[in-house]
Amino acid sequence: MNSIEGDLEELYIPASINDVPVNEINPDGLAEGIKNIKSIVVSKQNQHFKGIDGVLFSKDGFKLLLYPPQREPSVYYLPDGVEIIADSAFSGNQHINKLVLPHGVRVISEFAFGNCGNL
């Protein structure tokens, strides 16, 4: 999959997509083209991913993959069932200042909160 082009505010992931390179870091700390994303929508037919309130998760809900960099709520409650926060999952979000983790979180990957100045 090539990098995402343009100044998208909403990223739509269709059923046919089985890989989203959201954690391919560039020198600015975010995957190319996602700096302005506020929300992620995933096709209900996608067998690899799901979106919950604009946030990208693995289909089983165990792994939070990407919290959009321009998502504005200052507090985020991870849903129950999340066990892993992916590498750079919250990278670059300057809006979030509080994160509430469910009891089952067991892995917070490297740089999960990179460049989150207000967290």
CB distance 70 to 92 below 8 Å = no
In this prediction, residue 56 carries a pLDDT of 95
pLDDT tens digits along 32-44: 567 788 999 999 9
In this prediction, residue 92 carries a pLDDT of 85
SS3 label, residue 101: coil
In this prediction, residue 81 carries a pLDDT of 96
CB distance 55 to 78 below 8 Å = no
In this prediction, residue 27 carries a pLDDT of 41
Q: How far apart, in Å, are the Cα atoms of 78 and each of 32, 61, 100, 113?
A: 25, 10, 6, 14
Q: Which CATH class is domain 1-119?
A: alpha beta
In this prediction, residue 117 carries a pLDDT of 86
In this prediction, residue 26 carries a pLDDT of 47
In this prediction, residue 19 carries a pLDDT of 84
Whole-prediction pTM: 0.85
Residues of the chain with pLDDT under 50: 1-5, 25-27
In this prediction, residue 1 carries a pLDDT of 37
